[in-house]
Amino acid sequence: MPLPLYLLALAVFAMGTSEFMLAGLLPDIAAELGVPVGTAGLLTAAFAAGMVVGAPLTAVLARGRSGRSGLPGLVLVFLAAHVLAATTTSFPVLLATRVAAALANAGFLAVALTTAAALVPPERKGRALAVLLSGTTVATIAGVPGGALLGALLGWRAAFWAVAVLCLPAVLGVLRGLPVPDGERAVRPALRAELARLRRPRLLLVMLLGALVNAATFGSFTFLAPLVTGTARLGAVWVPVVLVLFGAGSFAGVGIAGRLADRRPGPVLSAGAPLLLVGWPALALFAAWPAAVLVLVFVLGTLSFAVGATLITRVMHEADGAPTLAGAYATAALNTGAVLGPLLAGLALGTAAGDRGPLWVSAALVAVVLLLLPTARVGSPA
């Protein structure tokens, strides 16, 4: 794989750390700013909402520019949002910084996905996207637990400062790694032609499946901390451990997708989705058993990202007639799920199911995926 892919993954790591780290910080943020934990969960939903809007908007605005000229500026906007977040004492302001950071993150990811796909032959597109998304999975392994640990030792604001610092080498990496444009503008389809791809039923269905799987993933991941310290009766120090296990599983899942998403997407989805449907209820039923929680969190991280990353690749394949907007379609679809999941999971926290409620929500969302999956005919000719 080309070196620029790994430098793009570095930036994705910095942004992914911010996107996921709130799973370990929500209780502390809620306590300091005087809001319920369920309300604090809106920070995750606001971030995802900003990504839904920001992905297509930024991709359209960046159509005439190279990745090297646009991506560094988006990282700097992301950095500035985190500096403000680290210094505010107002929950509404913190919420606004999450939207601003998300707009920058969305634009970066949408353009980076398209850039990554263009750096390799079509038959290696899935592998290239897996390398790019490995930045996110490494964030769940190292960055997110690190953020939770910083939050436990120095307060949640320290985690936001750490993300801001991480953005600096990410900017330098993108500037040094991506090639300088040679002055010849690539021939691109008209914007109307790229938008017309959204009329393809299979593209829309694969986007919907990606949104549902991501909703299931984010819905439970966002509220793992209350589950660990509540039903599982583990101390707060175990929250980073659980996040590391989920992240290690996600890294394994993206690796599986990278090897199979181009050649055998059907088997990955037809095997992974039913296992997810079993796994989320299993975690709910055995949440009081710490050993079971530790094992199941790893397994569910693997399955969630294997299925989710495969669907990202399929969106990029189905949108092959929209070279500048394909990444935006994938980003917007998956973050639609990231909006829906925490909102539904936050509501479930207030029911009799308590901190197991998000797990049952995830199971219900995966059940819908299983009902729709045969219609998608993933991997068959268009």
Tens digits of residue pLDDT in 252-295 = 888 887 777 667 777 888 889 999 999 999 999 999 999 999 99
The Cα 375–Cα 382 span in angstroms is 12
Q: Of residues 318 and 140, which shows the higher confidence score?
A: 318
Q: Across the chain, what does the average pLDDT equal?
A: 82
Q: What b/e string do you get for 256-277 counting C-beta neighbours within 10 Å, with b at 16 or more? A: bbbebbbeebbebbeebbebbb
In contact, 4 and 177? CB cutoff 8 Å? yes
The Cα 51–Cα 359 span in angstroms is 24
DSSP character string of 97-143: HHHHHHHHHHHHHHHHHHHHHHTS-GGGHHHHHHHHHHHHHHIIIII
- Where are the alpha helices (H) located in the chain, listed in sequence order? 3-33, 37-40, 42-61, 67-87, 91-118, 125-138, 144-154, 156-177, 191-196, 201-221, 224-229, 238-260, 265-285, 290-318, 326-349, 357-376
Q: Could you tell me the two tokens for 94?
A: 């913190």
In contact, 253 and 304? CB cutoff 8 Å? yes
pLDDT given for residue 259 in this prediction: 73
pLDDT given for residue 16 in this prediction: 81
Q: Of residues 30 and 235, which shows the higher confidence score?
A: 30
Candidates 28, 38, 29, 20; CA nearest to 346 is 38
pLDDT given for residue 95 in this prediction: 93
Residue 117 in this model has a pLDDT that exceeds 80:
no
Residue 338 in this model has a pLDDT that exceeds 90:
no
Q: Could you tell me the two tokens for 252?
A: 């394994």
Banded pLDDT at 184 (limits 50, 70, 90) = very low
Q: What is the 3-state secondary structure (H, E, C) of 235-248?
A: CCCHHHHHHHHHHH
Banded pLDDT at 363 (limits 50, 70, 90) = very high
